[in-house]
Amino acid sequence: MRNKGILSLVAVGLFASSLSVGVVKAEGNENGLARKAIERQVEKTLNKGFVDSKIFKQLEKEVNGSQPQSVKGSNKMSRMSSSSSDEYIFETEYNDDFDSADSASYEKGTIGQLLPLNDVDFHKIDVPSSGVLLVAGLSDSYVIDLVFAAVQKDFVTNSNLEYLGSEFEDGVEVQAYQAKKGTYYVGVIDQDNEYIDDNTEYDIYATATAFVDNVNPSKPTVYKVDNNDKVVTGKAEANSTITVKSGSKVLGSTKATSKGMFSVKIAAQKAGTKLTITAKDSAGNVSSSVTVTVVDVIAPSKPAVNKVDNNDKVVTGKAEANSTITVKSGSKVLGSAKATSKGTFSVKIAVQKAGTKLTSTAKDSAGNVSSSTTVTVVDVIAPSKPTVNKVDDNDKVVTGKAEANSTVTVKSGSKVLGSAKASSKGSYSVKIKAQKKGTTLSITTKDKAGNTSSKATTKVVKH
């Protein structure tokens, strides 16, 4: 991994004066373990374009300085630049183990030296959330065979940090790691420094780090949406943008709060409409979608019920299409049936007495029940014809029996001679003028619904 390039650094003298070689820790067994762990990383090439070109250029800029200058010749002492110490973090020895690691930054590159023999440098970097940690490295010296790697503290290996591969361009190596939120360490060694002590204070390296959020947010949690609702609510990744669609049509979007709560304004949707909801984070990563079906909470309109009489064995009318119609008398269910797709219904019932009150309701497939429609069973059955006692030419009343509480009328031909109401037991007595012997009287009774019986006849006899 010998990486050579042109570093645009501060004057070497300035860098050298910032370091105190005297505090460099001598090599120990810990340093040897670190070297072996860093060297173990297997080289593999990243897929082309995995590292965004803008990010790659930014990392190149950080390891080379903000105003890189290509200088001909190999004399490093002749390389000067307009860079300042503000553009880099200087290595501070000793930084040979995890506990003494220097802090790295995503804003600035880090420069350091690898001496004395077997020197190991560690630089600490915090990953803010799950994503890709990029580490760039470059040496400006042909005596440094630069090797670096991102590792976990104490060289723990697990799925928290997975090496994806590396990419080279203009002498800069960029390594990529899939990392979960946490603190990691960039270990740096000079691979040939194990054998050749040829490094000087003028032989330097630079590293830089970047973070790319490539992890899709978790799919949002969405609360129930009904056909009255004008908002879709739930929880998602904090500060992500929530979008609600019906098919390809965007109904609304909003930003989740810092606690992940969201409320997206939409127009009220029909029951059964399928809504898809996604969350997009600030890096543009989009979650998998959540689909919810709009719930029907609106009760059907009350059914329209046709007249029901005391001959009928069905109750008919119109209601919400495909709803279930139930007919009751009081709390007793007389029958139920499903309305057609056009809303017509016919519920079978036993014949009910005139005056019975029937209540009919419609229940939709979601279980919403309409208000009730009440109809009273109409009396369409005529009373039985009355019985008539003997009438003679002296009688001034006609008596007999008829339907209780019905109205009895006595006629001679088309002439009404009199009428009266039957008692609750059906007895009646109709006042008339005395009629001649042989006169034919016709007697009918009419119930309160207006149904009239067939007529009974009798002839006036001689007293």
Would you say 339 and 325 are in contact if contact means Cβ atoms under 8 Å apart? yes
**Could you tell me the sign of the dihedral formed by the alpha carbons of 154, 91, 146, 132, in that order?**
positive
Say if residue 68 is in the same domain as residue 196: yes
CA–CA distance, 327 with 79 (Å, rounded to integer): 98
Would you say 262 and 242 are in contact if contact means Cβ atoms under 8 Å apart? yes
Tell me the pLDDT tens digit for each residue of 158-175. Answer: 999 999 999 988 889 999
Domain boundary at 186, 212, 238, which? 212
Say if residue 182 is in the same domain as residue 108: yes
Percent of the chain with pLDDT over 70: 88
Say if residue 41 is in the same domain as residue 178: yes
Tell me the pLDDT tens digit for each residue of 10-52. Answer: 434 444 444 444 444 545 556 677 777 787 777 788 887 888 8
Q: What is the mean pLDDT of residues 433-448?
A: 96
Looking at per-residue pLDDT, the higher value among 82 and 382 belongs to 382
Strands (E), 236-367: 241-246, 249-255, 261-265, 274-280, 290-293, 304-305, 314-318, 324-329, 332-338, 344-348, 357-363
Say if residue 256 is in the same domain as residue 362: no
Listed range (10-14, 68-72, 176-180, 386-390) with the worst mean pLDDT: 68-72
- CA-to-CA dists, residue 324 to 3, 318, 364, angstroms: 79, 11, 6
Q: If pLDDT is split at 50, 70 and 90, which confidence band does 191 have?
A: confident
Q: How many domains does the chain have?
A: 4
CA–CA distance, 24 with 313 (Å, rounded to integer): 105
Say if residue 63 is in the same domain as residue 162: yes
Domain encompassing residue 364 = 304-376
CATH of the domain at 278: 2.60.40.10
Q: For the whole model, what pTM was predicted?
A: 0.66
SS3 335: strand
Say if residue 115 is in the same domain as residue 37: yes
The gap between the terminal CA atoms of the chain, to the nearest Å, is 145
Q: What is the mean pLDDT of residues 202-223?
A: 94
Tell me the pLDDT tens digit for each residue of 89-100. Answer: 999 988 999 999
Instruction: Assess whether pLDDT exceeds 80 at residue 306.
Output: yes
